[in-house]
Amino acid sequence: MKFPYSFPLTRAFSLYMGQASLLAWEAFTSILAGRIRWRLVLRQVVEIGFGSQAVVIVTGIFTGAVFTAQIFFQFNALNMSTAVGPVVSVALFRELGPVLTGLMVAGRVGAAMSAEIGTMKVTEQIDALRALAVNPIDYLVVPRAVAMMISMPLLVGECIFFALSASYFVATRILNVNSVFFLHHMESYTHGKDMVMALTKGFVFAVIVAIVGCQQGLSTRNGAVGVGRSTTDAVVISSLTILMVNFFLTMALNIVFPAGQARY
């Protein structure tokens, strides 16, 4: 049965998924084969990890502060102000930390990857690499993917640390929550599996941002206009993919790592 040409969105989605899956397969094949240029990886780690720290720290601080305030205002009416700590901690580890870090890095790094590779594509630098017998996947995609997989979990941990620090300051210094109860309940209800869940999501989001950003760059055409379009698409697609994949990750990881009981 032939489908009429009335499904352009479906055709475009299928084509994009095929291109992204093929790129991911080639990149991971190169990684498993050991074709990793570590000097380029370290350069990308500095660009991605170190360069994203300011954005991640500010995001973590104000997310922890405002989330703590909102939880306190609701829980205090129920005389449950001491429960602010564990609620904020578990939410940051399981959801807010990884997702917000992924979105911020997608906006900063995903756009940069797409713009840089897209500019190389329209100026025929990628064709020059092929002429010199250099695989563009090994030279451009693999270093960025490896650097993302190294940097993103660390950025997630950094975001959560600063978010919890801001949460403690707002709760104990501004909202007058007892610091002993705050820390005790936070420690009692936060488990190692919450940290594993945060790092797992960070790793998956790193793969998404790297593959989407590089794929958009490699498929760029039509000169400077195409570079701008690819950059915008990279941010939008990676952000939406993170939000969608996060739902399925949450459902799966909560089966593997169910919420734990308090440790007293």
The residue-averaged pLDDT of 152-181 equals 93
Residue 83 has pLDDT above 70, yes or no: yes
pLDDT at position 9 is 62
Phi, psi of 207 (to 5 degrees): -65, -40
Q: Give the model's confidence band at 5: pLDDT under 50 very low, under 70 low, under 90 confident, else very high.
A: very low
Taking 80 as the threshold, does the pLDDT of residue 111 lie above it? Answer: yes
Average model confidence (pLDDT) across the chain = 88
What pLDDT does 145 receive?
A: 93
Residue 222: left (phi > 0), alpha (psi -120 to 50), or beta? left
**Hey, which of 31-40, 145-154, 217-226 has the most confident mean pLDDT?**
145-154
> What per-residue confidence (pLDDT) applies to 16?
77
Please give the distance of CA 50 from its chain centroid, rounded to a whole number: 15
pLDDT score recorded for residue 262: 58
| Structure confidence at residue 2 (pLDDT) | 45
Q: CA-to-CA distance for 243 and 197, rounded, in angstroms?
A: 16
Alpha carbon 186 to chain centroid, angstroms: 25
Helix pair 53-76, 97-105: axis angle to 10 deg: 150
> How does pLDDT run across 220-262, given as a tens digit for each residue?
888 888 888 889 999 999 999 999 999 999 999 988 877 666 5
| Side-chain-side CA neighbours of residue 206 (13 Å) | 24
Examine the pLDDT at 195 and tell me if it is beyond 60: yes
Distance CA 247, CA 124 (A): 39
Average pLDDT rounded to a whole number, residues 197-210: 95
CB of 92 closer than 8 Å to CB of 64: yes
3-state secondary structure of 251: helix
pLDDT band at residue 3 using 50, 70 and 90 as cut-offs:
very low
State the pLDDT confidence band at 8, using cuts at 50, 70 and 90.
low
pLDDT of residue 39: 92
| Percent of the chain with pLDDT strictly greater than 90 | 51
Whether the per-residue pLDDT at 1 is higher than 60: the answer is no
Q: For residue 169, give every residue at least 6 positions away whose Cβ sits within 8 Å of its Cβ, in sequence order, or none.
A: 65
